[in-house]
A = this chain, B = another copy of it.
Amino acid sequence: MTRRVKDVTDTARRVGTGVRDGVKDLVSSEDGRASRWDEHREARRAELVEAAVAAIDEHGPGASIAQVSASAGVSRPVLYRYFADKDDLYRAVGAWGAQQVIDGLLPVLLTDTPIRERVEKGCEVYLRLIAAHPHVFFLLVEHPTTDDPLADGKEMVAATIARTLGDVLRDLGLDAAGAEPWAHGLVGLGLSTGEWWLRRRTMSRAAVSRYLSSFVWHAFEGIASEHGVVVDRQGKLRLVAE
Give chain A's interface residues, CB within 8 Å of chain B: 2-3, 60-62, 138, 142-145, 147, 154, 158, 177-178, 180-182, 184-193, 195-197, 199-200, 202-203, 207-208, 211-212, 214-223, 226
A212 touches B185 (CB 8 A): yes
Q: With the chains together, A219 CA to B190 CA distance in Å? A: 14
Instruction: Assess the A145–B218 pair: CB atoms within 8 A.
Output: no
Tell me which of B60, B177, B186, B226 contacts A214 (CB under 8 A): B226
CB atoms of A199 and B145 under 8 A apart: yes
Q: Are A218 and B219 in contact (CB under 8 A)?
A: yes
Which residue of chain B has its CB nearest to the CB of A221? B222
Given contacts A145-B195, A215-B223, 15 further A-B contacts (CB under 8 A): A138-B144, A142-B143, A142-B144, A145-B199, A154-B192, A177-B211, A181-B203, A182-B211, A185-B189, A185-B196, A185-B212, A188-B195, A214-B222, A218-B220, A218-B223
In the complex formed, the residue of B with least CB distance to A209 is: B181
Asked whether B188 lies within 8 Å of A193 as measured between CB atoms, the reply is yes
- Tell me whether B192 and A188 are in contact (CB under 8 A): yes
Assess the A211–B62 pair: CB atoms within 8 A: no
Cα A215 to Cα B220 in complex, Å, equals 8
A-B contact pairs, 27 of them (CB 8 A): A3-B60, A61-B144, A142-B143, A158-B192, A158-B196, A178-B211, A178-B214, A180-B202, A181-B196, A182-B215, A184-B195, A184-B196, A185-B189, A185-B193, A188-B192, A189-B189, A189-B192, A191-B192, A214-B223, A215-B219, A215-B223, A218-B222, A218-B223, A219-B219, A219-B222, A221-B222, A222-B222
